[in-house]
């Protein structure tokens, strides 16, 4: 009986850092309005946090994730949100481990930095650091 060749290679997933941004609105917004506000941050996956059992329920907050392309453009968007619709924003480059099957495990933040809402320019997008603007 011949055995199939075995491989010592182990398929592993991917590790890296993605932008992880949580925005809490000053007041809950209708779904369409929340999406319009968040559209200013182009290229990210958007998850609206609203009640699933009530279609059309207002959206109190949202999460955006994905690769960070232009830090300066994102700082401009954050400043606009914090002068308008956002009560608080939590943003940073969050470490992750993604398995070969697509399962994502988020690595704990290494450090939190709390800043006044007017200090968006101090957000440096350091890997593993979460900035809280309130």
Return the beta strands (E) in the chain as ranges: 14-29, 45-49, 59-66, 86-98, 104-106, 111-115, 129-133
- Per-domain residue ranges of the chain: 14-133
pLDDT digits 0-9 by tens, 15-59: 899 999 999 999 999 999 999 999 999 999 999 998 777 778 899
Contact by Cβ (8 Å): 17, 93? yes
Q: Give the gyration radius of the chain's Cα atoms.
A: 19
2 alpha carbon, distance to own chain's centre: 51
Q: What percent of the chain has pLDDT over 70?
A: 91
CATH no. of 14-133: 3.30.70
- Residue written as token pair 């592993």: 12
């Amino acid at each position: 009986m011949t055995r199939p060749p075995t491989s010592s290679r182990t398929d592993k997933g991917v590790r890296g850092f993605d932008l992880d941004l949580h925005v809490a609105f000053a007041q809950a917004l209708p779904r369409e309005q929340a999406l319009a506000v968040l559209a200013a941050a182009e290229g990210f996956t958007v998850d609206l946090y609203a009640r699933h059992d009530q279609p059309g329920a207002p959206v109190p907050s949202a999460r955006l994730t994905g690769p960070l392309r232009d830090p300066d453009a994102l700082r401009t968007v954050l400043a606009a949100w914090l002068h308008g619709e956002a009560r608080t924003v939590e943003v940073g480059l969050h470490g992750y481990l993604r398995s070969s099957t697509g399962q994502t495990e988020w690595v704990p933040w290494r450090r939190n930095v709390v800043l006044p809402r007017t200090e968006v320019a101090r957000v440096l997008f350091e890997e593993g650091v979460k900035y809280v603007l309130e």
